[in-house]
Amino acid sequence: MGMFGGLSISASGLTANRTWLDVIANNIANANTTRTPQGGPYRSEQVVFGELPAASSFSGALQSAVQGNVGGGVGVTSIVQSPAPFSLVYDPSSPDAVNGYVQMPNVNLTTQMINMISASRAYQANVTAFDATKQMDVEAIGIGK
């Protein structure tokens, strides 16, 4: 893995969690958007995480396996729209109303706030792991002196 492998893995987690927080903020900002450029109400988005490959070549993967490494961190593989149904609100005065009902976005603010707490705690855990790894690396360099 090398001396900086742990830092790289923690950094990938920080990047992925920042993207997750950005998506959550976008969902909250569009919680009342009933008309989008694509037509219809805003659809909430969800982040899909996946493992980053440790090596791009067979020889690199073989070398990683021999050394006992299992991966290269985490990354966002895609951002998908939620399939949850839209809610209908009776508002005949709205320009988006059909038969008096307006389709509202499928953004659940409670779920978004729970996701925000989870993402921020995961971000903080990666900061803690990054700092601990950095401190261990500094101590290891100091041993050689």
Nearest 5°: the CA angle 59, 55, 8 is 140
pTM of the model: 0.81
pLDDT tens string, the chain, 145 residues long: the values are: 556 677 888 899 999 999 999 999 999 999 999 999 988 899 999 999 998 876 566 676 667 666 656 667 889 999 999 999 999 999 999 998 999 999 999 999 999 999 999 999 999 999 999 999 899 888 888 887 7
- In this structure, the strands spanning 87-90 and 101-104 are antiparallel
| Residues contacting 34, CB < 8 A, separation 6+ | 41, 42, 94, 96, 102, 103, 104, 105
